[in-house]
Structure 1
Amino acid sequence: MTNTFDPEKLQTALENIHHAGIPGVFAEVRDHDRTWSGAAGVADVTTGRPVTTEMRHRVGSLTKTFTAAAVLQLVDQGEIDLDDPIGGYLPHLVPGDRGASITVRMLINHTSGLAEYLPYAYPSLAAFPAMAKTTPQSLDDHRFTRFHPADLIALGVAAPATGAPGSTPGVYSNTNYLLMCELLESITGIPAAKYITRNVIERAGLQHTELPTDPPITGPYSHHYESWFGMIDPPRDFSIYDMSFVGPAASLISTVADLNRFYGLLLSGDIISSASLSQMQRTVPVIAFDGKTLDYGLGLQKTTVPGHGTYWGHEGSVWGGGAVSMTRADGNRQLSLAVNLQRWNRLDSAGKPQPHPIDAALQAFTQLVLCG
């Protein structure tokens, strides 16, 4: 084996993430026809139950790739045009000049100018993303609140615009993807979650992936611990949560093996056409919630590793859970990783997240996988 696929080194690097402060972490790495999977730490800090590689996990915004793929299937079928205005499809949700100016493409690549609705749905996050001024109280208050997507979209549409339609850099916003879900339903006549399940999840043969309709996670899973920048101490378990606040924009439950399978099939042209895949890989700069700039396509993030190629995938976060999946452009190297703690960085007096050993350990593991 090459030094970029050394199981012992990979396991040690994974354990370093746990020792740096993550309760539990698990991953799968694929290199050509070889597969390595590993886990470190615990799924339950109370009982000490160990985390395992087969566990199902909330993967947050990795869901967006699945939603985008479903929309692009309808593009392939001639049911949707990427450059049509969303107001032509959903005039009741994005009316007037904005509906006429914002295209389907702008929604998928976050250049619509539509603001994030989250601060308005969770009142105590009203300063979001000015995190030093927020409290996590709403996370408890709304653990079992059932949100309606049209209400959330209305909050995002009513909020001040983040930019003119089509302007760059775009600004990351879940409002865009809830609109994509409404578009799917308006075209197909069935709920977006059912359409994505039938035409993306089942088509890819993902046996441990689902868009949940109820708060619990079925099957073996790790608890999801939220720290909210040290404001929740010790971190609290939010694994059982009503995910209607994001729906098919970020509610997916999956496994690291299923994620690698999905992105491998997507990038090999088995989920959408090669023409639509090319559209997915046309990127623009997009400002993420944490302020960093993403190289973002249509539901895909691009990462260039100097000397080691281009990777496509996505990262995601929910309350207490995080995940990332990356596949090299040639399909021969993949990484999917999940962690059961989020927002571990504490904030300085200016509200800026401070470095934490977890950051360095995650970077070291990723670098080992991608670069050796």
Structure 2
Amino acid sequence: MNTLRKIEQFIELCLVPKLNKNYDECKNHSEFGIRNKNLDKNFYLLLKQLEAINFKNCNNPESVISQLLILYTELSSKNTWDEANCLKCSEKLNCYFHTFYEINLTDVLFQNSVFNHQEIFDKCFENLHIKLSPAEFKKYPAQIDVYLRLIKDIKRYNVTIVPSKILPTSLNLIDDYIIENKLNGLKSCLAILQCLNKDAFEKGNYYEVVYLSLKKLITEKDIEATKLVFECLLTLYHILPANSQKQKLDEIYNAVLDQLIIESNLYRKAECLKFTKTIISIHKIHCCNRIIFFSIISDNLDLCCNEAVSEVLLEIVLQTLKEWVKYCWCVWKFSTGHKIISNLFKVLYCCKDERLVTEVHNLLVTLIKLCDDTEKKIIINNLEVVDHTIKK
């Protein structure tokens, strides 16, 4: 057996092995104790093999170096499955690498001077995804942690990223029912998407896989997850092939309006409104096709007559309506939007924030100006009747 193969075997013996049960199924996993008990012996044997080889003289050493990086990242994680000696082992491994190659293991993805950092990057995620399959990823919590920690700095690696080779674990986490996994998946997915451009999806339609995983989470009730889903969807939209953008934005717009119809949590409602406003600013006139928008705005304005609700919702409701009017004014009809005008007057009466009072007033003037002469007379007559009633 050659030295490289022996090194790979000892690396595997030093890693947390596959668990018998999913990590979330019980609190105590015997595999952690077994690994920690045997780590000193296996790590010593690994170092002896490393000292007997010079990676600079090897053909394609990046595969083994990527596995060393995975081991180093796992040992230095300070997680529940690691004991104090794990951190000491990681320090020894980094010291060895720096002594022999004048570069830290932590820097092999940032520098291309000694080894091919693109090859190391590709091999790292290839090795991780061999274990982190959809069916078994929850039996490798240490490897998930390595994946998340490597993704965290992905913007700084200056490497070419192939979405189908790096996103699968993020999508597995996103699809999981445990909220912590969802959040970690969304954060890593966002970090990856932010590194991509339109060229990333030129070959194939892997973007559909990413899009569907994210779109399913529009119904997720957790506030932090909601924010991350919306941020991921917007980032994905900007790198989609041009011929897919309109359809996807239509679907997202419809989905978030559907959420606004049923959402009762004020803070999540506010996040949905912020997202809706952003979509309108991008989609513009194409947002005319959902008349339910009028009902949503009207209902939320009515809610804002309550002072506590107003503090959370009023500003974003007004901003969203203002954005819609900016681009979709041409389809405004008094017959379908009269409740909005009515509720704007109610808000004007209740609102104590002078800045927002000005916003309400400006919107009222704008919407009334968009009505035809007959409708304007109806509005003025109704206002005069109200004024007369109040004076009595």
TM (norm. structure 2) is: 0.24
Compare the two structures and name the one with the higher strand fraction: 1
- Structure scoring higher RCO (CA < 8 A, sep ≥ 6) equals 1
Compare the two structures and name the one with the higher helix fraction: 2
